[in-house]
Chain A
Amino acid sequence: MARPRKKRNKEIFALGNEAVVEGALLAGCTFYGGYPITPSSEIMEIMAQRLPLIPNGSFIQMEDEIAGLGSVIGASLAGRKAMTATSGPGFSLMQEHLGYGCITETPLVIVNVMRGGPSTGLPTSPAQGDVQQARWGTHGDHSIIVLSASNVQECLDNTIEAFNLAEKYRTPVILLIDEITAHTREKIIIPNPDEYEVFNRIVPTMPPEWYKPYEETVRGVPPMPAIGSGYRFHVTGLTHDTNGFPTSRPDEVRELNERLFRKIDQFLHDVQLVDEVDTEDAEIVVIAYGTVARSAELAVKQARDLGVKAGLLKLSTLFPYPRKATERIMAKANTLVVPEMNMGQISREVKRVNNGQVSVRTINKVDGQIITPAEILKVLTRV
């Protein structure tokens, strides 16, 4: 996480999945709707215990993941901060409503604890196979924010960040973690209320009769009233005009679609979160995310001990892909190494940014096992 914090206090020993819940509750989440699936179920189970204990908290187990995300969108439209969690098969079912969330600009958070695929795959083993699905899974051209977490503390921190970005940009935000981080139990620090920022969606202040639900604003993000707050308007998954009613007029269609991209693209500096380790003088830089970034951190340290000028670019934001940070690294490094538990999904993005300027090496593993520090070190020392 790129955002620093001052002092630390309460420490707990928690699973990655538990940390997601802690983060969500700190961020102000009061609604969870979903369907249980390994290896994300602990998030749902703990939410079922915790949400009834907080004022206005509500929890519901739906009949499938489609319904789970549907209920989350409904709750978010009704003014709640809402989330769901799932894994690969459930994430596939959610794609329909993910697109609905994008076009209706409904803030929500989906946590996808990645397991081996395709299909039912490896329910209890880690993978990073859903990265491009998170970006392009729902039909139609759309913009989206995808975050990741590489350890239990980041599960907490990045869940808060996911809620903040969702509220700020009125968009679904996907947090990708993998089975290892979700089921790792380690010490984490619960931040004090003054140590983290909570962003709430902007609500309209004008009289209801002046309100236009999808009007252009400076930031490209229109204010969003809750259902029942006096602003009666139409929400639709059809392409709509600024009043929210269906349209197929090319000028109105273009305006909406372009704004949906622009509202995120003009604030990339706020959305693209990365961490850099030893990159100042690095000649060979590992670009990693999720659990693999943890292996990479140790590998980079060991490589330094062996005299290799290695560094790590750890991606907290996967999409929009942090192009600027990668280009900054490329200015000095002559080799990029991209280890992933898939056959090359973020390395596609790296190669696209790189465009043949430096050498890009990939380490790919799809056997349900983590990429170890030794495997990365081997590549770092051989290059």
Chain B
Amino acid sequence: MVDMKGTQLIHEYLRHNKKFPHVFCAGCGHGIVLGSLIRAIHGLGLKKDEVCVVAGIGCSGRLAAYVDFNTVHTTHGRALTFATGIKMAKPGMHVIVVMGDGDSMAIGGNHLIHAARRNIGVTALILNNNIYGMTGGQCSPTTPSGSFSMTTPLGQMEQSFDCVELCTAAKANYVARGTVFHVKKLDKMIMEGISNPGFGVVEILTPCHTQYGRKNKYKTPVDMYKMLKKDVIDIERYNKLSEADKAAKTPAGVFVQKDESGLEEKFYEMAARCQGGV
């Protein structure tokens, strides 16, 4: 691995022929995820041709267009289905799926739990900003109870999904939660997710000031990052808290780490045995 920093990584991994600027608002966390993803891929020493970034629809979906890998910008919620096809067809490819919270848990909820269940060897980065950003600030399945959005002007009355618990219950190989405030940890989680042979999920808490923050008493983007700093704590520290204190905090870290082989590996092993003339 060649040692590269800052702008060198940008020149190496961002597309030169893409019409910049990007779509992310000032203060958005998605760009930090993009940086983290590039550092993780560079850190693992993966060849560009062997990386395929598949994205869904929404602000997070646009991320794929900027990076110089094989990139597929798919339909709303269905990115995992395309990724499954690509991984089955090309098991050697490192397939990384970038989705938002509404993308992965509302319209694509079924695909998420089944990708986890069948343990297909792709890595899902779920950029959770608790809101539909690009569509204009409607509530998502992770919008916290009581918070406001364009479609919950009286406050959200539904419960929100816990992405980590959902993916753990659906038997994903690797489940982690990071934030765009704790970037070094996030780099490591994405690297571990990509290296895992089965289905890896990294939920990334990334603030959306434009659509979520300003309706929910976060006056500036900085307030939202301060919230991440204050409220998101490491899983070990979280477990030591009393039940009452837990309610106000969100645990982050690695929740599940198994080493089961991915579906594509199992399939081709079985196929090789069949073709061997049994």
Contact = CB atoms under 8 A, between A and B. Distances in A.
A227 B52 CA distance: 8
Interface string A44-87: 00000000111101111011101111111111111110100000
11 contacts: A31-B89, A33-B85, A67-B110, A69-B81, A74-B86, A74-B88, A77-B86, A226-B90, A232-B68, A245-B17, A246-B73
A52 B75 contact: no
Most buried by A among B48, B50, B82: B82
A311 B72 CA distance: 50
A48 B103 CA distance: 30
Contact of A228 (B52, B274, B275): B52
Given A31-B89, A227-B52, A227-B93, A67 B75 contact: no
Interface residues of B, number: 44
Interface in B77-96: 78, 80-90, 92-93
Interface string A210-248: 000000000000000011111011111110000101100
Contacts of B271: 52-53, 57-58
Given A245-B19, A245-B65, A71 B82 contact: yes
Nearest to B112: A63
Interface in B224-278: 263-264, 267-268, 270-271, 274-275
A230 B81 CA distance: 23
Interface in A125-166: none
A97 interface: yes
B3 interface: no
Given A63-B114, A67-B114, A232-B70, A78 B85 contact: yes
A232 B48 contact: yes
A58 B78 contact: no
Given A57-B271, A63-B111, A100-B75, A75 B85 contact: yes
Nearest to B71: A234
Given A233-B70, A237-B75, A70 B93 contact: no
Nearest to A104: B72
B64 interface: yes
B89 A75 contact: yes
Main secondary structure of the interface of A (DSSP, over half): mixed
A245 B49 contact: no
B69 interface: yes
B120 to A, nearest CB: 9
A97 B85 contact: no
Contacts of B147: none
B84 A62 contact: yes
A70 B270 contact: no
A96 interface: yes
A371 to B, nearest CB: 38
Interface of B: 15, 17-19, 48-50, 52, 54, 64-65, 68-75, 78, 80-90, 92-93, 110-111, 114, 263-264, 267-268, 270-271, 274-275
Q: Which 8 A-B pairs have the closest CB atoms?
A: A74-B85, A70-B81, A71-B85, A78-B89, A236-B73, A74-B82, A75-B89, A67-B81
Contacts of B93: 78, 227-228
A246 B55 CA distance: 14
A75 B81 CA distance: 10
Contacts of A75: 85-86, 88-89
Given A31-B89, A58-B88, A246 B267 contact: no
Nearest to A52: B271
Contacts of A226: 90
Contacts of A77: 72, 82, 85-86
B194 to A, nearest CB: 16
B51 to A, nearest CB: 9
A248 B72 CA distance: 19
B84 A67 contact: yes
B86 A67 contact: no
B75 A70 contact: yes
Contacts of A82: 85, 89
A368 B33 CA distance: 55
Contacts of A67: 78, 80-81, 84, 110-111, 114
A96 B57 CA distance: 13
Given A52-B274, A234-B71, A237-B73, A78 B81 contact: no
A97 B17 CA distance: 28
Contact of A80 (B80, B82, B84, B89): B89
Contacts of B270: 52
Given A52-B271, A78-B93, A228-B49, A97 B75 contact: yes
